[in-house]
Amino acid sequence: MKPNHFEQESADMLAAIMGARRDVRGNRFIDKPVAADILSQIFAAAEMAPSVGFSQPWEFVVVNNMKTRRALVDNFNQVSTQAQKAFSQDKQEQYAALKLEGIMEAPVNIAVFYRPSRLPVLGQSSMEETGRYSVVCAIQNMWLMARALNVGMGWVSILEAAFVKEQLNAPKDAELVAYLCLGYVNEFLEQPELEKLNWERRKSIRSCILEESY
């Protein structure tokens, strides 16, 4: 294989990793530490992500302190109980049975922040949100690299960003983008759990592609 040229085989491999990636929660993590070298590869994947104006506006806080994690789970429970009420009665029952975080169970917890640049960023002037999108690119790289290393990752968004910031002593301008839980798992489901449970269906990508205009 030439260094900058890939064959179909590589694309197939990438698609296989993408297809096998799952969001993983606390009911799947197993008690097996993630070695430093594995975690480094996952962070290296974040480093390779594209970012607006090459601003690389991401910062990561690795959270090991169990007291902090406990406080975050309490916050999750509060937010989740409120969030559940927005759904129909049927869905509320389904929601209650779902495990939607893995903060205590996952060996690795990482809070991901967007740290806006104080200087102008090439490409960001008319779309300020591209800074946040860049952080999401880094997260997706991590998710895929984790999966390629057989490490599961879950994205927890059912949290109050201000509470997480306070717990982690985050500076004022740091914005929480994601709270990630990582670890080895007993199983990677073959399809999204929410699809399996008929909460949502997968849309065909064809139905999302328009010609010329809306």
Query: Mask 119-148, x = binds ligand FMN (CB under 6 A)?
Result: ------------------------------
For residue 41, with 0-12 CB atoms within 10 Å meaning exposed, 13-18 middle and 19 or more buried, which class applies?
A: middle
Chain-centre distance for alpha carbon 192: 14
DSSP state string for 114-183:
E---SS--TTTSS-TTHHHHHHHHHHHHHHHHHHHTT-EEEEE--S-HHHHHHHTT--TT-EEEEEEEEE
DSSP 197: T
Q: Which residue is nearest to ligand FMN (CB)?
A: 192
> E strands along 3-96, which residues?
58-62
- Shortest gap between Cβ of 28 and ligand FMN (angstroms)? 11
Query: Mask 175-214, x = binds ligand FMN (CB under 6 A)?
Result: -----------------x-x--------------------
Q: Smaller CB distance to ligand FMN: residue 35 or 162?
A: 162
Region 12-41 residues binding ligand FMN, contact defined as CB under 6 A: 22-23, 25
Q: How many angstroms separate the CA atoms of 154 and 140, rounded?
A: 11
Angle at 157 between CA 166 and CA 187, to 5 degrees: 125
Which of 158, 160, 161, 163 binds ligand FMN (CB under 6 A)? It is 158
Q: How many angstroms separate the CA atoms of 104 and 193, rounded?
A: 20
Query: Mask 41-80, x = binds ligand FMN (CB under 6 A)?
Result: ----------------------------------------
> Taking CB under 6 A as the rule, does residue 116 contact ligand FMN?
no
Q: For ligand FMN, how many residues bind (rule: CB under 6 A)?
A: 11
Query: Mask 86-115, x = binds ligand FMN (CB under 6 A)?
Result: --------------xx--------------
- In contact, 135 and 60? CB cutoff 8 Å: no
Which of 41, 68, 84, 157 binds ligand FMN (CB under 6 A)? It is 157
- Shortest gap between Cβ of 180 and ligand FMN (angstroms)? 10
Which of 95, 155, 168, 182 binds ligand FMN (CB under 6 A)? It is 155
First to last CA, the chain: 42
Q: Which residues face 156 on adjacent strands?
A: 179
User: Could you list the residues that contact ligand FMN (CB under 6 A)?
Assistant: 22-23, 25, 100-101, 155-158, 192, 194
